[in-house]
């Protein structure tokens, strides 16, 4: 994921497992990105869904198995580069 997103210092946790949690840059509106993904048939889960009071979070989990889809990584890369302004 670091290679795809051109973020050498990106926060990515954990080092193993079925899900990778990545902290998105502050310029990214996670909810807007989630809605754009849904419109393209890509299922994402904003980090606030995993918080007790659903407070804002820049963390997003990625299922390692589904990230291998041909449309998934290009969508994420485009969103990160453009700041999801589309």
Q: What is the pLDDT of residues 36-71, one digit of tens each?
A: 999 998 888 888 888 888 888 888 888 877 777 778
Q: What is the pLDDT of residues 13-29, one digit of tens each?
A: 556 677 888 888 888 89
Burial class (CB in 10 A: 0-12, 13-18, 19+), 28: middle
Q: Which pLDDT score, from 0 to 100, does residue 9 have?
A: 53
Distance from CA of residue 35 to its chain's centroid? 12
Question: Per-domain residue ranges for the chain?
Answer: 2-82
Fold category of 2-82 in CATH? 3.90.1150
Q: Which pLDDT score, from 0 to 100, does residue 12 have?
A: 58
């Amino acid at each position: 994921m670091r290679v795809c997103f051109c973020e050498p210092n990106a926060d990515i946790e954990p080092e193993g497992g079925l899900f990778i949690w990545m902290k998105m840059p502050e310029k990214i509106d996670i909810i807007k990105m989630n809605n754009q993904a849904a419109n393209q048939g890509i299922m994402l889960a904003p980090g606030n869904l995993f918080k007790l009071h659903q407070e804002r979070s820049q963390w997003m989990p990625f299922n390692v198995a589904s990230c291998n889809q041909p449309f998934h990584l290009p969508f994420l890369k485009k969103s990160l580069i453009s700041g999801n302004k589309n």
